[in-house]
Structure 1
């Protein structure tokens, strides 16, 4: 059903045009004698065709068209102006102002039907294209979501592949990723950045894929030579991820390289200090160490949560960025909930 808006200050003209519109079928005439009231209606409703008289006392047709076109989403609606035979200059001005077609008085019924049908056909085409565009946009969004879900699944599985070769568990990457998100939020990072670190943090140790089992799985303390080999996992992870076109993978590459750097410059692999360490690396350093301390491994018992908290506080400004420690401790209750939610015997997807 087409909504046809009719504006004319003459009752006779309104009655005539309404009768002609109804004869077309599938049309709902909406009539106003006062242009300002019609304009108010248009703010909340979208007509399929506007038929407006030029000569009106309150607001002439030219001013009405200008005001109508100024409303959001009304630039493509067909507008038919009714003028007198001798008003060519008005028609020229109306064309420049946004009118699509004209009728001259007295109105010819056949001409009226033909012009209105043509303009409604134009509107039908517009709506079809708009609906088609919206449909395609929804399809693109749906496919994009599917691709992103597959990307997240792939990232999680890559992260788990590294964990399978390590005494750590799949629950570890869940916990430390969520701890990282707590810190990011505590630093007032925007929602997209917080979501990015949640998705990228699990790849922090993906470079362990390239470390030999006799070192990676050694139950006791590593020798200095073995530890030098173990430290290579940071650069291996960076090399594995850095050339990806994925924003998540690129963030994972940064995290893999930087999460063992220490705030005082004594970390590896580059010995970066303070703010020179990428922010994501500083965040994940806190999350990773806290979870490592509070998790049981074949070679150690889990620390008590309060002992791990004291370790973080003591490492403020030395091992850890003080602001990251402050942000993590501000979310302490949430961190405890995450510690309970992701147990070492479970590894639900992020």
Structure 2
């Protein structure tokens, strides 16, 4: 047996009319099925609604002293919290123009006075049924929107973890690079943010692209996982044949990312920049780089930005084959590479960002370098 504890709550109807007789008529007709609240003016109606809980439907007299029914309707439809409450106007005016105005304000229906009891009961039931359906759809849409946002956050987190895991593979092969991948990642973002104000790059560097570049930058040296230790960790200069092997880390990096993408059986847009960066960050503006010997704007913008970040950090960092270079000397060498090694405009942005680059360098300083 269903008790009052588990019975569904009855819908609440707010009746608003300056005539006590109409209010008592409405209450008498509807109180067996619905909870009835009453207000004798527009002002009282708004106060009742503000004090809550919200009614499920409002029967609203149009002609009242003070705030009219139109005024009350306008106020309720302007508020996100009350705009979905259906309003049935009660009016002695049956003209088409009056109905048009009410519908434009957002009313759901009209009932003319004197009130026809069967018509009132039927119209109220119809509007409450429609509201229940609309509420269900709105709740479903809100749930689906929240679920899409949750899944998007989940997918983004998976992408970030995947990139971090892949980048960590390269770092473990060359432990003296320490925080190199983190420093270069932040250098790339700083450069991209500055460059999006430049007319040459503005169209290519929106917020979404900058975010992807930041996430993809750690994969620039992923190809080093395929370079033998005898070369990767060699303390002296490379022999010509060793350097040729070392140069293959760009192709190995691109192919590693491509193989991961192929395993999914579909292109992954966020990996497109990672492939560009891995394959092209050793290219030079004058065409003397590798692996393809590309020159100028034939080099992807992502790779040109990465080149500046990578070389700057490499010059400042200690390696098995060299000591760390002082900052001023490193900057001087970078200046010499303007228009030969580096895109001139990107190098200019780097020079303007030197204080920021120094801050990033200090924030992610290699602990081993302090010993």
Higher mean displacement: 260-269 or 112-121: 112-121
Whether contact under 8 Å (2:94, 2:112) holds in the other structure is: no
Root-mean-square deviation (Å): 4.1
Quick check: 2:59–2:88 contact (8 Å CA) kept in 1? yes
Q: 1:167 touches 1:217 (CA, 8 Å); kept in 2?
A: no
Alpha-carbon displacement from aligned partner over 1:287-323 (angstroms, at most 9, x marks no partner): 0011111111121111111111111112111111122
Checking the alignment, whether the CA contact within 8 Å between 1:21 and 1:29 is kept in structure 2 is no
What SS does the aligned partner of 1:298 have? coil
The equivalent residue for 2:350 is: 328
Residue 184 (structure 1) aligned with residue 200 (structure 2): no
Provide the rounded CA distance (Å) in 2 between the counterparts of 1:126 and 1:312. Answer: 64
Question: Are 2:291 and 1:275 aligned?
Answer: no
Provide the secondary structure at the position in 1 that maps to 2:323.
coil
Query: CA contact under 8 A between 2:170 and 2:223: conserved in structure 1?
Result: yes
Identify which of 281, 285, 289 aligns with 1:263: 285
Q: SS of the residue aligned with 1:204?
A: helix
* Conservation of the 8 A alpha-carbon contact between 1:20 and 1:109: no
Say whether 1:148 aligns with 2:156: yes
- Relative to structure 1, the CA distance from residue 329 to residue 239 in structure 2 (aligned partners, 3 Å threshold; closer, same or farther) is same
Q: Which residue is 2:230 aligned to?
A: 214
Q: How far apart, CA to CA, are the structure 1 residues paired with 2:124 and 2:215?
A: 56
Deviations 1:127-170 (A, max 9, x none): 23322321332233123212211221111110110222225434
TM-score, normalised via structure 1 length = 0.77
| Pair 1:252-2:274 in alignment | yes
256-265 vs 162-171, which moves further: 162-171
Contact 1:203 1:252 in 2 (8 A): yes
- Larger CA deviation: 121-130 vs 93-102: 93-102
> Residue 296 of structure 1 is aligned with which of 318, 322, 340?
318
Where relative contact order (Cα < 8 A, 6+ residues apart) is larger, the structure is 1
Distance 1:78 1:300, change over 3 A: same
Which sections of structure 1, spanning at least 5 residues, go unmatched?
none
The answer as to whether partners of 1:3 and 1:28 remain within 8 angstroms in 2 is yes
Gaps (5+ residues) in structure 2? 1-8, 197-204, 262-266
Task: Give the C-alpha shift of residue 220 in structure 1.
Answer: 1.7
